Structure 1
Amino acid sequence: MATLADVAAQAGCSQATASRALTKSGKVSEKMVRRVVKAAVELGYRAPFGASGTSSRRRAVVGVLIPSITNPVFATSVSVIQNRMLMAGHRVLIALSNYDPAQEADAIATLLVERPAGLILTLCNPGLDLAVSGEMPHVVLMNNRPSERFPAAVAADNHAAGFVMTRHLIEHHHRSILFVSGSFASSDRALQRYAGYRAMMEKAGLQPLEALEVGFGDYDGLDLGEALRIARPTAIIASNDLLALGVIGALRRDGLSVPDDISVAGFDGIAIGRMINPVLTTIEMPDVSIGAAAASLLLDMADNGAAPRHLEIPFSLRAGGTVRRL
């Protein structure tokens, strides 16, 4: 296991400077702090309890990893988690993966430098080997299904959500339905929603269409022209509400009306979907409940020795005005 001396040697500073940088307990330049933290992450170093600046009187740290702070779903969950942890006397550190599996392990390693009492993680793919050095603390997955490595999880059933949304469109007599998604490699939630779409299409005797994958965050400049010409859909399901809004914008730029020309639906139930006209048809995910349940489960495991468990949070369909009956 890496020592403080190893970190100092790799960062090119004294052990005292490395200790001050990691514990934030003295005057150290921001440049040196970044060098020391980078060295600690690369070496898999975690400071021992009782080190300067990490006494037992200091509040325990809980690390939270989310894909993006710009999606209101994750922002709401983080707010709920922080309030719950503050009530329990814990500090909260937040890290972002930016939907990038390569950044994910680095973000977790950075959180581990702080020797957290526990982690709440929303992962791109919980089944992948994160290759993070050192022993992991208590971990609760949020918005992911449990995996062999991380059996504690709080999530809605995204496969069922995709099934229900597709059934809603089929009940409105849509037969050619296109699924537009962020990268499946970066979101198992999107992949599960697409799997639910395929399952319902096949159950109805309809041909599922290949999903159109777009980059996360590239929602405001979507070009659906080629996909529309090839698939000729009467309805589009987007893997989340922000993407659904991007789809609506792209359709309008192409001179198409929603829902008169093409129906659109999403997932998550973010507030802005209720503010547009017509109101967005979506699957409402209980982000407040998911965040609260994840925080409570982690505290139960860390403080009471409770066994890891999987909590499934119910979702609901919100039938808005962006889907019309053919």
Structure 2
Amino acid sequence: MTTLQQVASRAGCSLATVSRVLNRTGPVSDEMVRKVRRAAAELGYRPAGGPPGSAKRRPVIGVLIPSITNPVFAASLSSIQNRMLVAGHGVLIAQSDYDPAREVDAVASLLNEQPTGLILTVCDARSSEALSAVLPPTVLLGNPPTARFPAAVCADNRQAGRDITEHLLAHGHRRILFVSGYFNASDRATLRYAGYCDAMDAARMTVLEALQIPFVDGFETLDLSMILSRFAPSAIIASNDLLALGVIAAIRRQGLSVPRDISVAGFDGIAIGRLTYPPLTTVEIPDATMGAAAASLLLDMAENAVAPRHLQVAHRLRPGGTVRDMRNDT
């Protein structure tokens, strides 16, 4: 049986350092963490067990998402669970409800279960200093990488924002409004709006201030009467598909038609968008693929001491029937 001392010798460090790395009980440099985990993997080291009298339990990973009810995260979760099932890991799930303050408590609860690693979709990875300073191997899902979290699986949301805006511009739209959840609750939405601004600036069109509403609820009662009167948009881009469907319902409550009176587009490519009539125009993000990739990357980092990586997945514009071509209007 491989001992801690053998792992320490292979890694070229002290027994205390090996203990801190494997038990996550103290600060250790990222380079030393990788050395110790690589040595443990190469030697086939496995902990002898928990405290006396405790039963050996199945390893688990922790997953934090903003909302369990959003089909985007449901698709990612399904892929994560399938990948972890094959690897013999359980999956613990927590949600933040798009609230940065709740993220801290949710991650702390996951850490109480001593997970092998974490997969996190946070509100804004750039402002996650409040999270515990000592974390197991961690992969961001949907968020772009940061200095603290270099391991990430995401799409290029800024480019996706440019692409959908350019699609509307190419169809003759000039007054385009961006409707979003609060930007401090989603760096994905912030980047998509930045892409909208890029495309509008490049076309020398007026950039309209984004309308920000809560992500969690209110879609079914969304009132756009004042905003439609103020901006008179010919098209609206919503920061995700669920919100886009809420925007379509709000437009119809005003006695208007989509796309005859106002065009609508979204992001994510959820299945329900293909079932509506007309089908939703959207930017399709491969959420299931992203979940599987994040799970595989986490296992590589945790079990094989692979260095953190940034994996960027491709998005695809999916034209539907909710965008009107205004170029032939007289």
Partner of 2:71: 72
Q: Are the aligned partners of 1:151 and 1:310 in contact in 2 as well (CA < 8 Å)?
A: yes
Cα deviation for residue 86 of structure 1 reads: 1.1
Alignment match, 1:296: 296
The offset of 1:131, in angstroms, is 2.2
Instruction: Report the residue type matching 2:277 in the other structure.
Output: N
| Deviation (angstroms), 1:90 | 0.5
Alignment correspondent of 1:260: 260
Consecutive unaligned residues of structure 2, counting only runs of 5 or more, are 1-46
2:225, 2:49 → 1: CA distance? 60
| Shift of residue 51, structure 1, vs aligned partner | 3.9
Task: Judge conservation of contact 2:50–2:56 (CA < 8 Å) in 1.
Answer: no
| Residues 183 and 214, structure 1, Cα contact 8 Å, conserved in 2 | yes
User: Does residue 273 of structure 1 match 2:273?
Assistant: yes
Is the 1:161–1:283 contact (alpha carbons within 8 Å) kept by the matching residues of 2?
yes
Counterpart residue number, 2:321 = 321
Rounded Cα–Cα distance in structure 1 between residues aligned with 2:287 and 2:279: 19
Distance in 2 separating the partners of 1:130 and 1:285: 28
Amino acid at match of 2:178: F
Q: Which residue of 1 aligns with 2:243?
A: 243
**Residue of structure 1 in register with 2:157 after alignment:** 158
User: Could you say which residue in structure 2 is the equivalent of 1:8?
Assistant: none
Name the structure 1 match of 2:87. 88
> In the TM superposition, what whole-angstrom CA distance separates every residue of 1:114-146 from its partner, at most 9, and x where no partner exists?
111100000000011342345100000000000
Higher relative contact order at CA 8 Å, sep ≥6: structure 1 or structure 2? 2
- SS of residue paired to 1:223: coil
CA contact (8 A) 2:258 2:322 kept: yes
Residue 13 (structure 1) aligns with: none
Counterpart in the other structure of 1:114:
113
SS in 2 for 1:220: helix
User: In terms of mean alpha carbon deviation, does 214-223 or 259-268 score higher?
Assistant: 214-223
CA contact (8 A) 1:105 1:130 kept: no
Q: Is the 8 A contact 2:49 2:56 kept in 1?
A: no
Equivalent position amino acid for 1:137 in 2? P
SS in 2 for 1:94: strand
State the alpha-carbon separation in 2 of the partners of residues 169 and 133 from structure 1. 43
For residue 207 of structure 1, what is the amino acid of its counterpart?
Answer: T
Tell me how far apart the structure 2 counterparts of residues 303 and 228 of structure 1 sit (CA, whole Å).
Answer: 53
Q: Comparing 97-106 with 130-139, which one deviates more in the overlay?
A: 130-139
Amino acid at match of 2:165: T
1:150-192 deviation line (CA, Å, top 9, x unaligned)? 0000000000000000000000000000000000000000000
Distance 1:53 1:287, change over 3 A: farther
Secondary structure in structure 2 of the residue aligned to 1:136: coil
Q: Is the contact made by 1:266 and 1:280 (CA closer than 8 Å) also made in structure 2?
A: yes
Counterpart residue type for residue 281 of structure 2: T
Q: 2:263 corresponds to which letter in structure 1?
A: S
The change in CA–CA distance for 1:314 and 1:170 in structure 2 (over 3 A counts) is: same
* Structure 2 CA distance for aligned equivalents of residues 49 and 106 of structure 1: 31
1:214 paired residue number = 213
- Of all paired residues, the percent bearing the same amino acid is 62
- Measured after TM superposition, the shift of residue 53 of structure 1 is 9.3
| Contact kept? 1:162, 1:196, Cα under 8 Å | yes
Counterpart Cα distance in 2 of 1:54 and 1:290: 40
Q: Secondary structure at the match of 1:273?
A: helix
Partner of 1:230: 230
C-alpha deviation, 1:55, in angstroms: 5.8
Tell me how far apart the structure 2 counterparts of residues 248 and 198 of structure 1 sit (CA, whole Å): 22
- Aligned pair count? 279
1:102 is aligned to 2:105: no
CA RMSD of the aligned region, Å?
A: 1.6
CA contact (8 A) 1:236 1:262 kept: yes
Q: Which TM-score applies when normalising by structure 1?
A: 0.83
Matches for 1:145-224 after TM superposition, within 5 Å = 145-216=144-215, 217-224=217-224
Measured in 1, the distance between the counterparts of 2:48 and 2:318 equals 48
**Separation in 2, partners of 1:108, 1:192:** 24
